[in-house]
A = this chain, B = another copy of it.
């Protein structure tokens, strides 16, 4: 029997390899600062050999979000594909140890577990280079209909459009969710990702997405509007809830009838912005699935994002449940 979930997320299951670098390193390597770039295995080896000592942490955008949701007290599940290798075992351990259900079988052949080489510059900005590895083997067959049907919200990361088979899994999950009267949430993930799939994302948002997460750059890439408020207004026409972040300037949460501005939560020292958007989404989704007012959803999003940028990596290191009002 499937336990009812608050949120089930589908994403690229990735282990992050995080090291420090300066801007000159990014320039030498031809990296687009702040972006997520897809790389092949040979390029991953080249970058890894060039970068300094690193630490390894489980990551993946939606993986970070469900870990945050569980830490906030939500019942969360995850669907994603690792290989049966050491990094795959690390990913599985960490998401399950966070309290998230995760039963997608590991691939027993094919590419290794995905890894993301993350360079953190002195300004705490993260620049990501992702080798998708085993993520290309996530297919529609991995979508557990009962699991999707059980969850209030099915959360999908835009990055999932990169592996071609995963896109079909994405669409299947959205269809199951709606057939069962559930909500579909999408994060646009990255402005380069939006440029890669703009027309498909627009179609999705007009028909299949109930809750949209984006930052200001992704929203601009999607709608082609340089004016922030115009972009938010456009989003509100198509989705029930639009959550748009603006880094240190906070965020806007908007429905058809209501819009609230949320301040960013104060941070003693920003160490690494990896996972900021993922954890903001966790806070907002926890609030929405708990039936909390928009302002409270945003407050939780800001606090969860503040925790994650105070240390390396995109998984919470302190229990986020402390932020939830009794």
| In-complex Cβ contact of A54 among B20, B53, B67, B97 (8 A) | B97
On whether the beta carbons of B86 and A53 are closer than 8 Å, the reply is no
For the complex, what is the distance from the CA of A306 to the CA of B104, rounded to whole Å? Answer: 43
Q: Which of A257-308 contact B (CB under 8 A)?
A: none
Least CB distance from A308 to B in Å reads: 13
Contact flags (1/0) for A175-213 with B, using CB distance below 8 Å? 000000000000000000000000000000000000000
**Chain B proximity of A114: nearest CB distance (Å):** 12
A93 within 8 A of B: yes
Q: Judge if A215 is at the interface, Cβ distance under 8 Å.
A: no
- The segment from A25-33, A44-52, A220-228 that touches chain B is A44-52
Asked if residues A52 and B86 are in contact (CB atoms below 8 Å), the reply is no
**Is A53 within 8 A of B94, CB to CB?**
yes
Residues of B within 8 A of A53 (CB): 58, 67, 93-94, 97-98, 315
In whole angstroms, how far apart are the Cα atoms of A90 and B49 in the complex?
11
A301-321, CB < 8 A from B: 313, 315, 317
Please provide the chain A residues from 79 to 98 with a CB less than 8 Å away from any CB of chain B in the complex.
85-87, 90, 93-94, 97-98
A100's nearest neighbour on chain B, judged by CB, is B53
Residue of B nearest to A18 (CB): B55
* Interface membership of chain A positions 37-72, coded 1 if the CB is closer than 8 angstroms to chain B and 0 otherwise: 000000000001101111111100000000100000
- Among A48, A57, A86, A90: residue with most chain B CB under 10 A: A86
Interface positions of A (Cβ within 8 A of B): 17, 19-20, 48-49, 51-58, 67, 85-87, 90, 93-94, 97-98, 112-113, 313, 315, 317
